[in-house]
Amino acid sequence: MIYHTEVNAMSVEAVAKSVAGSVFPSCTTSIQNVERASKVMEYLITGFASADLFSRELIEYFTTETKTSISRVEKFKYEFRFPKDVPRELERRQQRSFLC
């Protein structure tokens, strides 16, 4: 995730909302469309340094042209797995209880 709030003092949400109308001009017709466009922009902003979203070549091009650097920090990354010896039906019941 890329956050330069110490430099520009704007949160990702604020930046996303401020540019959503420029990127998606038709979104201004309703509040719901503005919210959707803002969520898309948040996704693009927070995932910008991810090679899964943009290729490494595009990221390098951006940093070269803008004479900036990008550092990527992943705050939360975890995985949950049931032990192999748990019966399948018990596992399903436990998963359902987590979702409800």
Greater pLDDT, 37 or 71? 37
In tens, the pLDDT along 53-78 reads 777 787 787 778 777 777 666 666 66
For residue 44, pLDDT beyond 80? yes
Domain, as residue range, for 17:
5-99
CA 44 to chain centre: 6
For residue 20, pLDDT beyond 70? yes
- Do residues 1 and 74 make contact, with C-beta atoms less than 8 angstroms apart? yes
- Length in residues, the chain: 100
Res 2: pLDDT: 54
Res 14: pLDDT: 87
Res 30: pLDDT: 87
* Domains held by the chain: number: 1
